[in-house]
Amino acid sequence: MSITREIHGLVITDHEFSLPLDHANPAGPAIGVFAREVAAEKGTDRPFLVFLQGGPGSHAPRPVTPSTPGWLSRALEDYRVLFLDQRGTGRSTPVGQLEGMSPQEQYAYLLHFRADSIVRDAEAIRQELGVERWSVLGQSFGGFCVTTYLSFFGDGLREAYLTGGLPPIARPTEEVYRATYITLRERNRCFYERYPEDLDKVRALHERLAAGELRLPSGDLLTSRRFRQLGSMLGMSDGAERLHYLLDFPPDSPVFLHEVEDDTGFARHPLYAIVHEACYADGCVTNWAAERELPDEFASSPELFTGEMVYSWMFSDYGALAPLREAAELLAQHEWPVLYDGARLEANEVPAAAAIYAEDMYVDRKFSEETAARIKGLRPWLTNEYEHNGLRQDTRVLGRLIDLARGKI
């Protein structure tokens, strides 16, 4: 089903698709997948650029004008953009608490929400729309999806662009977290160097949290370990300032408590917590790798913020995640299939370009450069001008990637 309308100079067509939950079992249960096609008024016949959102577990942006999100104006010069609500997000069939399912049934259902399934959705949509080949743009986790796409369905692609999203290939998840903890420690140092007055505030707050004094609007107890997860902000261009300004508010004020809940909550996006480690699992078992690799310094220093890592205790501390606790444990012990085909990537023929952010807190630079070297023809752009959200910061990021892929620079 498709519906078309015009909004602020954009021609927008909404598409809804019915696709298999498990592409290996097309006769089995189906889920809905939603995609929004966005074109300039005079660009409805331009080739498609599929946007794969960061996450995992986040829906695609909602365009308001030709410059919202900021990179859209550049994209619409050459393309019409297909914003995909990745399975389980947005208007696609949602993943909630999977009420009525046993933990084993939840586990079996949640096995199908990684990049490999998302890419198969995209391929099914491409074929249903009758598109011979299209281009893809992947931000962060979306770049992981693009790498999977190049591995298994490169024949369906014209061009591939990645921003902050070249994944490690065939690396144990333990190695991923060892590397990102090093960067995270440096981000903590920089934060307290910029805002030294916040160190005493944070230490005093942890004393209150240890006494069990604060509850969030949802009723969840605000624990010290949950509060530390606000460090996930520190990898964005405005993250240090957002965290600093949050600490301006009294800890028992409604503003502080609502802000903390919004910035640490998973009620809207439970998939992130459920499959975060699995999105790094290129043929391995994760077994709570981030938790096992937590450095002693972090374990003994509560003032050090943690990042986007997921830990087993979250399925107790977060009320929204508690109904998935047993399923999450089963997923942590699951031996995941490979996400990438190294031989296919080394024989790649799709023009490709990738922005690698030199100080990226979420996707390790060393592993990204290693992967870039394996993808034949991919032109990497290593820069320290931007943080992980560079694509949103500056429309020139996408323009440079397009020019790189086309050999213009």
Residue 70: partners with Cβ closer than 8 Å, 6 or more residues away: 392, 393, 394, 395
Helix (H, G, I), strand (E, B) or coil at 21: coil
Strand partners, 84: 35
Dig out the tokens for 275 from the structure.
């499959």
Each of the 409 residues of the chain gets a pLDDT tens digit; together they read: 688 989 898 999 999 999 999 999 999 999 999 999 999 999 999 999 999 999 999 999 999 888 889 999 999 999 999 999 999 999 999 986 687 899 999 999 999 999 999 999 999 999 999 999 999 999 999 999 999 999 999 999 999 999 999 999 999 999 999 999 999 999 999 999 999 999 999 999 999 999 998 999 999 999 999 999 999 999 999 999 999 999 999 999 999 999 999 999 888 889 999 999 999 999 999 999 999 999 999 999 999 999 999 999 999 999 999 999 999 999 999 999 999 999 999 999 999 999 999 999 999 999 999 999 999 999 999 999 999 999 999 989 999 999 999 999 9
Q: Is 295 exposed, middle or buried (0-12, 13-18, 19+ CB in 10 A)?
A: middle
Name the CA dihedral angle for 235, 238, 240, 244, rounded to a multiple of 10 degrees.
-150
Q: In this predicted model, what pLDDT tens digit does every residue of 171-204 receive, in sequence order?
A: 999 999 999 999 999 999 999 999 999 999 999 9
- Cα 91 to Cα 32: distance, rounded to the nearest angstrom: 8
Rounded distance, CA 324 to CA 316, Å? 10
The alpha carbon of residue 162 and the mean position of all alpha carbons in its chain are separated, in whole angstroms, by 13
Q: How far from chain centre, in Å, is Cα 7?
A: 28
Structural domain spans, the chain: 2-169+338-405, 173-332
Which segments of 56-114 does DSSP mark as H helices, in order? 72-78, 103-110
For residue range 186-195, list pLDDT tens digits in order.
999 999 999 9
**Integer Cα distance of 282 and 113 in angstroms:** 14
For residue 403, the model assigns a pLDDT of 98
pLDDT (0 to 100) of residue 67 = 84
Sheet strands side by side (includes 48-52)? 2-7, 10-20, 30-40, 80-85, 48-52, 134-139, 157-163, 352-357, 378-383
The token pair at 57 is: 């577990």
How much is the pLDDT for 268? 85
* Type of residue numbered 29: P
pLDDT of residue 97: 64
Task: Go through 186-207 and write b for each residue having 16 or more CB atoms within 10 A of its CB, e for each that does not.
Answer: ebbeebbeebeebeeebeebbe
336 backbone φψ class: left, alpha, beta (φ>0; ψ -120 to 50):
beta
Can the peptide bond before residue 103 be classed as cis, meaning omega within 30 degrees of 0? no
Residue 218's pLDDT is what? Answer: 96
State yes or no: cis peptide before 69, omega within 30 of 0: yes
> Could you give the CA distance from residue 166 to residue 386 in angstroms, rounded to a whole number?
16
CATH of 2-169+338-405, one of 3.90.110.10, 3.40.605.10, 3.20.20.210, 3.40.50.1820: 3.40.50.1820
pLDDT of residue 60: 96
pLDDT, residue 99, reads: 79
pLDDT the model gives residue 1: 67
For the chain, report the end-to-end CA distance as a whole number of angstroms. 41
Residue 391: count of CB within 10 angstroms of its CB: 27
DSSP bridge partners of 135: 49
pLDDT of residue 68: 86
**Which are the contacts of 121, defined by CB distance < 8 A and separation ≥ 6?**
17, 19, 23, 33, 84, 86, 87
